[in-house]
Amino acid sequence: MKAILINKDDNGYSAQFTDVDESQLPEGDVTVKVDYSTLNYKDSLAITGTSPVVRSFPMVPGIDLAGTVEASSHPEFQAGDKVLLNGFGVGEVHWGGLAQKACLKGDWLIPLPDVFTPKQTMAIGTAGYTAMLCVLGLERNGVTPEQGEILVTGAAGGVGSVAISILAKLGYTVVASTGRPEQADYLKGLGAAATIDRNELSEKGRPLGKERWAGAVDAVGSHTLANVCAGLKYGGTVAACGLAGGFDLPATVMPFILRGVTLAGIDSVYRPKADRIEAWNRLGTDLDFGHIEAIMSEIPLSGAIAAAADQMAGKVRGRVVVDVNR
Ligand code: NDP
């Protein structure tokens, strides 16, 4: 099979597009013929070796895949079933989706949601499913459209793009924070009411600022997340899922103890199955399908290594679908 393979040896860290013998696939109770995978931020970290995402070598990266079951000894899946995988350490400690086949634990899989094609699920991918988890996090904390503006940071990226589309369809007024002013029309096309320059949020700020945001989806972390907390209205919530700007959090407790704001942490990787299915069901109703084409671009498997470098350089807009059979 064709695959992206990451190695670390005496010569250092390397990723290559190569042939891999299927007999090397790891153990698992479901073998999946992969139709599509995708490039998430974490995959690009792994492929470029920017941070230690991969914890065993050699590794096939790819935290997402959509495909067809070829063989299964798991009671919930049979040959021919269409399935979807997001996370569970796949592409980090277990061979992942950037290959033509994968051998996985059936407990990690969910049936491919009926309303989506395999390619559409990868256009959404972990980034989009995490955006949905963030919106669910805002809802659970009582954030409603009438309360005011919702800020989305890292707006032109994968999480940001899908979050904007969902929030706008649900009736929220979305403000998109981006470092790419040339993407303003794209972001407004997804439903953003306005855009702001991400530099307004990226420097050390005051412990408390003007109360502006009813809620926020933050994919950036660091000073940006600290400034988002400082700018939340009384009782507001930020769903924090990312670290594109840094994994530190140079904040004070003031927004929490004086304004009762909530910092809702969002993890997608080990999220229980019921939450995954809820999020994918909600994506089926709350994402504007007309936006999927605008959000995604498509590359062959052989293009994944170059695209990972582009993503790390902040040059990728929206989501990248990988056709592993092309
Ligand atoms: P993308 O690469 O698609 O988007 C990231 C965006 O962040 C960029 O497009 C850019 O937006 C912005 N950005 C990049 N670098 C910086 C910087 N130095 N300072 C401020 N903003 C920056 O990644 P994803 O959207 O897929 O993922 C976003 C984050 O969410 C990542 O950190 C990822 O690891 C995390 N994540 C976490 C998950 C979880 O389970 N918690 C699941 C999925 C993702 P713009 O150009 O508009 O400024």
CATH of the domain at 91: 3.90.180.10
State the CATH number of the domain containing residue 198. 3.40.50.720
Q: Which residue's C-alpha comes closest to atom 9 of ligand 1?
A: 157
The answer to whether residues 105 and 206 belong to one domain is no
Provide CB contacts within 8 A for 211, sequence distance 6+.
Answer: 231, 232, 233, 234, 236, 259
The pLDDT score that the predictor gives to residue 295 is: 98
pTM above 0.75, yes or no: yes
The pLDDT score that the predictor gives to residue 187 is: 98
The answer to whether residues 176 and 54 belong to one domain is no
Rounded CA-CA distance 58/259 in Å is 49
Q: Is residue 172 domain-resident?
A: yes
Q: Is residue 119 domain-resident?
A: no
The answer to whether residues 99 and 39 belong to one domain is yes
Q: Is residue 287 domain-resident?
A: no
Atom of ligand 1 nearest to the CA of 187: 47
CB atoms within 10 A of CB 184: 16
**Any idea what DSSP says for residue 59?**
B
The answer to whether residues 198 and 88 belong to one domain is no
Distance of CA 25 from the midpoint of ligand 1 (Å): 30
pLDDT by residue for the chain (326 residues), tens digit each? 999 999 999 989 999 999 999 999 999 999 999 999 999 999 999 999 999 999 999 999 999 999 999 999 999 999 999 999 999 999 999 999 999 999 999 999 999 999 999 999 999 999 999 999 999 999 999 999 999 999 999 999 999 999 999 999 999 999 999 999 999 999 999 999 999 999 999 999 999 999 999 999 999 999 999 999 999 999 999 999 999 999 999 999 999 999 999 999 999 999 999 999 999 999 999 999 999 999 999 999 999 999 999 999 999 999 999 999 99
The pLDDT score that the predictor gives to residue 31 is: 98
Query: What is the residue range of 131's domain?
Result: 124-265
Strand pairing report for 262-265 and 232-240: parallel
The answer to whether residues 209 and 158 belong to one domain is yes
Pocket around ligand 1 at a 6 A CB cut-off? 40-42, 126-127, 130, 154-160, 178-180, 198, 202, 219-220, 224, 241-245, 266-269, 311, 314, 316
The pLDDT score that the predictor gives to residue 323 is: 98
The answer to whether residues 80 and 175 belong to one domain is no
Q: Is residue 117 domain-resident?
A: no
CB atoms within 10 A of CB 140: 12
For 16, 133, 138, 175, 217, the CA distances from 214, given in Å and listed in that order, are 45, 17, 10, 11, 11
Distance of CA 155 from the midpoint of ligand 1 (Å): 8
Domain count, the chain: 2
The pLDDT score that the predictor gives to residue 83 is: 98
CB atoms within 10 A of CB 270: 8
The answer to whether residues 218 and 134 belong to one domain is yes
The pLDDT score that the predictor gives to residue 138 is: 98
The pLDDT score that the predictor gives to residue 52 is: 92
